[in-house]
Amino acid sequence: MGRLRFFLERTKTVRFVRFCLFLFLAVLLFAVLYWQVKPRQYELRLFDVAKETIRSPVTVEDKEATAQLKEEAAAKVADVYTLKKEYAENRVDLLSSLFAAIESVQKEAESDRAAGGMAAKLEERLPPEWFAYLSAEEWQRLLSAAPSELKTAKEAALTAVHAAMSERISQNDLEAAREQAANEIEYAALPPALREPVAKLCRRAVIPNVVYDRTATEEKRRQAMDEVKPVKILQGQVIVEEGQFITSDIYRRLELVGLLESDRPSFTAAGLGMFVLLLLAPLMYYFRHEPTNEKLSLYTAVLTGMMAAMVLIRLLPSGSAVPVGYLVPAAFGPMLVRLLLGERLSVMTAIIGAVCGSLLFNEEMGAAGTMSVSLAVYLLAGGLAGTFGLPKELAKANIWRTGVLVAFVQTVSLLSLLLLKNGRYSLTEIGLMALMAAASSVFSVILTIGLLPVLEAAFGILSPLRLIELSNPNHPLLRKLLTEAPGTYHHSIMVANLAEAACEAIGANGLLARVACYYHDIGKTKRPRYFIENQMGGNPHDHLSPQLSKNIIIAHVADGVALLRRHRLPKEIIDIAEQHHGTTLLKYFYHKACEQSEWVSEAEFRYPGPKPQTKEAAVINIADSVEAAVRSLANPSPEKIEKVVRSIIADRLQDNQLNECDITLKELELVARSLCETLNGVFHSRIEYPEVQKEKVKHA
């Protein structure tokens, strides 16, 4: 119960610290980015003079200007008039009725004269409204005309009116159409006395035949308004130049894009907060199952360094043609994370750096208020090149080679973006940008090499570069091992080969296993002659009691740990040196002690431990015993080697030596196969060459 309570309390502490670290990262990113994306506002008044050139931070629609353009477009649309063809038929019918009435009046007058009566007055024979067309005297001329003349007049009038009314006649065209109809009568075969009244009838008959169509007019105006494109104030567009007079229209546009101080709430902070949480979500998922916060603390330090570098570069003066955003060391954060924490996290770091950099340098890249896509691509290309460009065999020289790759990738990405924009840049500007891309990669390499040992020492992280440095044979401890215990040195090299191959077979850290093997028996240098691989003559244990021999053998673990700590080797290597024997039994001396006495405690002849806690320690525990056992075989064959390997693994399982690490039975099978393959390559059979008898060389 006590251990369970301790575990629960420790878990709560880890979660609380993790929450604090993520909260710090969120506040850091928010503070750095809000400084750039917060809405900038100006204290300006109408009819002031602008003290600087002001650009729009966003793209918005100017609805008032759009509405004004739509009204102007609608006003330019002329009224729509529709031609009424039935009007021509109606006016022709009217003329026909008039001439028919004239013929009727003539017949009535003749009937009255034949009856001997008096002819009625003209006013009495014609309807009163007819006198609106012609005077009484003109009607009298028509009534006095002969039937043939009247017929000719009728045909001429109908033809002239129909011809005139067949065309579109507006109110403005009415007089011209009437004159056209009257002129047609001039060419008719009529006596002069009839031409004038007939022409006058034609004028009166012609009327406008087009009428205003409200529905069609409104539809046409609506189409004209729909064709008007919205007036937009584009992002980065100059609203007012320095020294320009602020008119009411400019003032309205400044207010529209939110550049004037007002009491309206700004939602930029809320948007940036959600954006930061979205950016950190993958990191939260990645670190959710970490038992400690060492890696997260290290990552927080690296990300803080990245932001600090960006802010410092942001403070540098920048020209409009060559922005300083290209100087950002995009690769140093991903490279550090790749060296210290792994490739997957390095890719996430490259993405975070690209996004934050594109927001931080958005204004100078011509994308105020949003991300600069060009800079994001440039930074992401550099970060990914730093991530994937680091080779497996890490060294400082390889980091510089990766810097060359980063410079090449950033330069190519920069040139491709310039070509995509179809920008007009001089050779000097292009060369300066390429030089900045190269300088960015140099800064990345310098920061990586400079900060790597600092971070390793501060957070106790063992990087591949540090492991490679520790594998140098010129290290003082390795030189000590070689000179004072050469047999142990050779044994360590053999175990390193076995352990590295086995660890890589199960996905463990092969490089860590190799370097840890170099140092795992460093404690034997204190009493090298008491270990069989260093004995050239007799065995000193033959003259010692089993208890004393046991104490000497077991002491090499504690001696080695003390020596490693004195030389400040990484904790991972010290732990493996302490765990590489676990709590195994010294069987030889235990059985020897049992032969001398019946009261022997097995626990006294076991190593103090602890048992292996990691896969690397477990593999080294097995490989150490396997190498010693196979080396003692007289004629090692593949069958014998496999039997030894599997018996040692079975013994470790039965002795519960692997209970405290997370290695599986499937992985142990892979370890067994790897050990057998490596040992078969070392102890392969050789051809026995026949002995050649030496003969004297005969000289001619």
Give the model confidence (pLDDT) of 217-250 as tens digits. 888 888 888 888 888 887 777 888 887 878 888 8
What is the distance between the alpha carbons of residues 331 and 353, in angstroms, rounded to a whole number?
Answer: 9
Neighbouring residues of 186: CB distance < 8 A, sequence distance ≥ 6: 195, 199
Reduce the DSSP state of residue 288 to 3 states and report it. coil
What is the distance between the alpha carbons of residues 404 and 386, in angstroms, rounded to a whole number?
Answer: 10
Helical spans, DSSP H, in 206-293: 214-226, 248-256, 268-286
Element (H, E) at 437: helix 427-459
Name the nearest CA neighbour of 150 among 185, 99, 78.
99
Residue 156 near residue 112 (C-beta atoms within 8 A): no
Question: Which one has a higher pLDDT value, 172 or 663?
Answer: 663
* Weakest-pLDDT range from 120-124, 156-160, 585-589: 120-124
What is the distance between the alpha carbons of residues 105 and 120, in angstroms, rounded to a whole number?
Answer: 10
Is 265 buried (19+), middle (13-18) or exposed (0-12) by CB count in 10 A? exposed
Residue with tokens 């292996």: 612
Q: Residue 507 region, left (φ>0) first, then alpha (ψ -120 to 50), else beta?
A: left
User: Residue 83: beta bridge partners?
Assistant: 210
- pLDDT tens-digit profile of 457-466? 788 778 777 8
Residue 354 near residue 330 (C-beta atoms within 8 A): yes
Interhelix angle 294-314/2-37, rounded to 10 degrees, is 10
The mean pLDDT value of the chain amounts to 83
Q: What is the pTM of this model?
A: 0.63
For residue 347, pLDDT over 90 is answered with: yes
Copy the structure tokens of residue 451. 């900060």
How remote is the C-alpha of 175 from its chain's centroid?
74
Q: CA separation (Å) from 671 to 204, 496, 612?
A: 118, 14, 15
Q: CA separation (Å) from 309 to 122, 280, 304, 348?
A: 113, 19, 9, 18
pLDDT score, position 494 = 94
What is the distance between the alpha carbons of residues 79 and 221, in angstroms, rounded to a whole number?
Answer: 9
pLDDT score, position 651 = 94
What is the distance between the alpha carbons of residues 289 and 277, in angstroms, rounded to a whole number?
Answer: 19
Question: Which one has a higher pLDDT value, 338 or 186?
Answer: 338
Confidence of residue 261 (pLDDT cuts 50, 70, 90): low
Confidence of residue 697 (pLDDT cuts 50, 70, 90): very low
Copy the structure tokens of residue 478. 């390795």
Cis peptide bond upstream of 610, omega within 30: yes
Residue 340 near residue 456 (C-beta atoms within 8 A): yes
Long-range contacts of 274-281 (CB under 8 A, 24+ apart): 275/33, 276/26, 276/29, 276/30, 276/33, 277/26, 279/29, 279/352, 279/355, 279/356, 280/22, 280/25, 280/26, 280/29
What domains are defined for the chain? 2-37+266-461 (no CATH), 81-212 (no CATH), 471-682 (1.10.3210)
For residue 113, pLDDT over 80 is answered with: no
Q: 435-470 in b/e burial notation, b at 16+ Cβ within 10 A?
A: ebbbebbebbbebbbebbeebbeeeebbbbbbbbeb
pLDDT more than 70, % of the chain: 88
Establish how many alpha carbons lie within 13 A of residue 148's alpha carbon, considering only the half-sphere containing its beta carbon: 2
Element (H, E) at 123: helix 122-125
> Interior CA angle at 457 toward 465 and 17, to 5°?
115
> Interior CA angle at 294 toward 459 and 557, to 5°?
70
For residue 422, pLDDT over 70 is answered with: no
Q: Residue 316 region, left (φ>0) first, then alpha (ψ -120 to 50), else beta?
A: beta
Reduce the DSSP state of residue 233 to 3 states and report it. strand
Neighbouring residues of 532: CB distance < 8 A, sequence distance ≥ 6: 487, 539
Establish how many alpha carbons lie within 13 A of residue 137's alpha carbon, considering only the half-sphere containing its beta carbon: 2
Q: CA separation (Å) from 187 to 65, 192, 275?
A: 60, 11, 89
SS (H, E, C) 320-362: CCCCHHHHCCCCHHHHHHHHHCCHHHHHHHHHHHHHHHHHHCC
For residue 366, pLDDT over 60 is answered with: no
E strand segments, 54-194: 54-55, 60-61, 81-83
What is the distance between the alpha carbons of residues 629 and 265, in angstroms, rounded to a whole number?
Answer: 78
For residue 367, pLDDT over 80 is answered with: no
Question: Which one has a higher pLDDT value, 322 or 504?
Answer: 504
Output phi, psi for 496, to 5 deg: -60, -45
What is the distance between the alpha carbons of residues 394 and 566, in angstroms, rounded to a whole number?
Answer: 26
pLDDT score, position 541 = 87
- pLDDT tens-digit profile of 266-293? 677 888 889 999 999 999 999 888 777 8
Confidence of residue 695 (pLDDT cuts 50, 70, 90): very low
User: 661: which DSSP letter?
Assistant: S
Average pLDDT of the segment spanning 621-643 = 91
For residue 1, pLDDT over 70 is answered with: no
Question: Which one has a higher pLDDT value, 418 or 296?
Answer: 296
* Weakest-pLDDT range from 249-258, 268-277, 357-366, 612-621: 357-366
User: 240: which DSSP letter?
Assistant: E
Confidence of residue 543 (pLDDT cuts 50, 70, 90): confident
Amino acid at 415: L
Element (H, E) at 238: strand 238-240
Is 652 buried (19+), middle (13-18) or exposed (0-12) by CB count in 10 A? buried
